[in-house]
Amino acid sequence: MNLNSLYILLHIISAVIWVGGMYFAYMCLRPVAASQLEPPQRLRLWVGVFDKFFPVVWVSVVLLPLTGYVMIFSIWQGFAATPLYVHLMNGIGTLMILIYMHVYFTPFARLKKAVAAEQWPAGGEALAQIRKLVGLNLSLGLLVIVIAGGGRYFV
């Protein structure tokens, strides 16, 4: 078996779990939680949800660039011959990873602290920041999937 088939499999599964998870959280869980739960229950729910989701996202944000760079060197022997759609995926993907890390270390850390101290307004502010950044990352993720999936047919 060509090892690239293993790399692309890990790469695509990582992308599907990360972007699909953001879609479910942003488009499905968020509006229902906002309309049905009071701040204490809602903020506790999100800490629990992120505590389950973020460890998996850490695995994805390591596997995506790792498998991506291994494929770049194995298929094109480096960046010089790599097609434009892969450069775009690398650039936007790296931006997504930096945004995720910022979410994890800044507003998510604030959300956890606020919930532990039962400071609901501070928790609400941190959650609002996470919502904006996850909305941005979801849009970028869908764009990368269009570029990655369609790229070879356009160039």
Q: Which residues bind to ligand HEM, rule: CB under 6 A?
A: 11-12, 15, 19, 64-65, 68-69, 71-72, 75, 86, 89-90, 93-94, 96, 141, 144-145, 148-149, 152
- Residue 99 sits at the vertex; the CA angle it makes with 147 and 22, to the nearest 5 degrees, is 65
Task: Report in angstroms how near the CB of residue 67 gets to ligand HEM at its nearest.
Answer: 7
Neighbours of 36 (CB within 10 A): 9
Cβ-based nearer residue to ligand HEM, 103 or 144: 144
Alpha helices in the chain, H assignment, sequence order: 3-23, 30-36, 39-76, 84-105, 107-116, 120-154
CB of 31 to ligand HEM, least distance (A): 23
Considering the complex, state which of residue 46 and residue 100 has its C-beta at the smaller distance from ligand HEM: 100
122 versus 133: smaller Cβ distance to ligand HEM: 133
Q: For the purposes of burial, counting CB atoms within 10 Å of the CB of 83, is it exposed (0-12), middle (13-18) or buried (19 or more)?
A: middle
CA–CA separation, 94 and 116 (whole Å): 32
CB of 144 to ligand HEM, least distance (A): 4
**Between 47 and 66, CB nearer to ligand HEM:** 66
Smallest distance, Å, CB 141 to ligand HEM? Answer: 4
Which residue number, 94 or 129, has a Cβ lying nearer to ligand HEM? 94
Q: What are phi and psi of 64, to 5 degrees?
A: -60, -55
Torsion over CA of 37, 38, 42 and 43, rounded to 10 degrees? 170
Minimum CB separation from ligand HEM for residue 115, in Å?
A: 29
Helix axes 120-154, 84-105, angle to 10 degrees: 170
